[in-house]
Amino acid sequence: MAYDLIIRNAQLRRKKGTVDIAVEKGVIAQIAKKITGRAGKTIDAKGNLVTESFVNTHLHLCKVYTTQMLDSKALEAYHGGDMGAAMTAIEQAARVKANYNEKWIIQNVRNALKRAAVYGNTHIRAFADVDSKAKLIGLKALLKARDEFKGIVDVQVVAFPQDGVVREPGTADLIKEAMDLGADVVGGIPWIEFTDADEWSHINQMMEIAKTYDADISMLVDDAGDAGLRTLEMLTVRTLEEGRIGRSLAHHARAMALYPMPYFMKLVALLKQAKMGVVSDPHTGPLHARVKELLAEGSLVCLGQDDIADAYYPFGQNHMLEVGFLNVHLLWMTTFPEMEQIYDMITVNAARCINLKNFAIKKGAPAHLVVLDAPSVYEALWYHKAPLHVVSHGKLIDKDAMRV
Ligand SMILES: [Zn+2]
């Protein structure tokens, strides 16, 4: 038997002893103690951990590497005063879009995606601002990059009305145009509208577009230090009414940290009914969704990178082990079982959140793998080194080419 690729002496998670993994035509063909046969390429994992590759469910890809184009007014507003001025931060951050030009955006996007490849981050849900300032400039850059990186880093492009829908007239039409151009996911940020009625209108308008294009929804909800925000509940209710189970994803939901317990438990029930995941990014703001309590309730939760050097966060490199390491601390998930949960939240849970099918190390599944420079999840998080090898769609990524 001849395979495209064999990885020998691989340590799998929660398994004793090493195995060989054979890949053929993009798919895991066999996993066994010892695989005989030839392969186009053979890798010796030397007992290091081999897992599913990393999945980043939340990245503002049109704005990467723009921190230094602005002053730090947005950062001050977003991170200061218990996130009470998060809306001001969005207004401050919008200034970068006065300079939007596909020429520089596409270069930044390519740099971020190359890093993703090097760090084994093979799947990304990426937001492109679509509004009266950004128009479709960032979106077009992301669509172009999606095609360029096809088979290496899979990019799901979200048409995202960052500055609102009701308060930003014309945006709904631009979102439709973005979907016509080939965007994959309909975005939303209902909590920044000025009234409850406008929040509902925002959600309803985006829901109608999602239905028209049979697209998933990704909305940033309740991203401020305001216990009165309710747009996560509204999105779950609307999703249930439409019967679009598993088609909506909620991001941030930071206000959840301030909710009384009885209301939180109602939300948990609604999220489960709607099969809706929550993406949390505790490293990009001082408040965050109740990740540990959601996990304890059996809810679907994952972690996202959120930002790479933009108006909201000055660091980030599409390195999900780094995101995991940071959040071990921010969430205080320092026991070994908790570290396994953190690892799930940057791999398999994240994959479920963005509806990647059959994302697992098992026979017949698509081969998206990393061979880590560490024998265990514990050491992988501890040193958060780049993987030794990254396999995307059954093909070994040329990391040297990606580093150029
Ligand atoms: Zn975000």
Token look-up 């880093």 returns: 153
Ligand 1 center to 51 CA (angstroms): 27
User: Do the beta carbons of residue 291 and residue 338 sit within 8 Å?
Assistant: no
The answer to whether residue 262 scores a pLDDT higher than 90 is yes
306, amino acid identity: D
Task: In whole angstroms, give the CA distance from residue 246 to residue 343.
Answer: 22
Q: What's the pLDDT score for residue 113?
A: 98
Q: Which CATH superfamily is domain 54-353 in?
A: Metal-dependent hydrolases (3.20.20.140)
Residues 247-253: what's their mean pLDDT? 98
Give the predicted TM-score (pTM) of the model: 0.97
| Residue 390 CA from chain centroid, whole number | 18
With b for 16 or more beta-carbon neighbours within 10 A and e for fewer, the 40-56 pattern comes to eeebebeebbbbbbbbb
Ligand 1 center to 235 CA (angstroms): 17
Q: What's the pLDDT score for residue 71?
A: 87
Ligand 1 center to 285 CA (angstroms): 10
Classify the C-alpha dihedral 234-83-254-125 as positive or negative: positive
Helix (H, G, I), strand (E, B) or coil at 223: coil
Residue 381: CB atoms within 10 Å: 23
Ranges assigned E (strand) in 16-98: 18-24, 27-32, 38-44, 50-52, 54-59
pLDDT tens digit sequence for 100-157: 999 999 999 999 999 999 999 999 999 999 999 999 999 999 999 999 999 999 999 9
User: Do the beta carbons of residue 326 and residue 368 sit within 8 Å?
Assistant: no
Q: What's the pLDDT score for residue 404?
A: 81
Q: What's the pLDDT score for residue 205?
A: 98
Nearest partner of 50 among 402, 374, 396, 358, judged by Cα: 374
Ligand 1 center to 16 CA (angstroms): 39
Classify the C-alpha dihedral 186-83-62-177 as positive or negative: positive
Mean pLDDT (the chain) is 97
Please check whether the domain covering 2-47+359-397 is classified as CATH 2.30.40.10: yes
247-to-37, 207, 235, 243, 352 alpha-carbon distances in Å: 42, 10, 11, 9, 11
Residues in the chain: 404
Q: What's the pLDDT score for residue 183?
A: 98
Residues with CB under 5 A from ligand 1 (ion): 306
Q: What's the pLDDT score for residue 46?
A: 98
Ligand 1 center to 90 CA (angstroms): 10
pLDDT tens digit sequence for 143-160: 999 999 999 999 999 999
Which of 21-30, 75-84, 385-394 has the lowest average pLDDT?
75-84
- Please indicate whether residue 253 or residue 80 has the higher confidence score (pLDDT): 253
Ligand 1 center to 391 CA (angstroms): 27
Q: What's the pLDDT score for residue 27?
A: 98
pLDDT tens digit sequence for 193-218: 999 999 999 999 999 999 999 999 99
Ligand 1 center to 306 CA (angstroms): 5
- Domain boundaries, given as residue ranges, for the chain: 2-47+359-397, 54-353
CA dihedral 128, 133, 137, 141 (to 10 degrees): -30
Ligand 1 center to 305 CA (angstroms): 8
Ligand 1 center to 320 CA (angstroms): 15
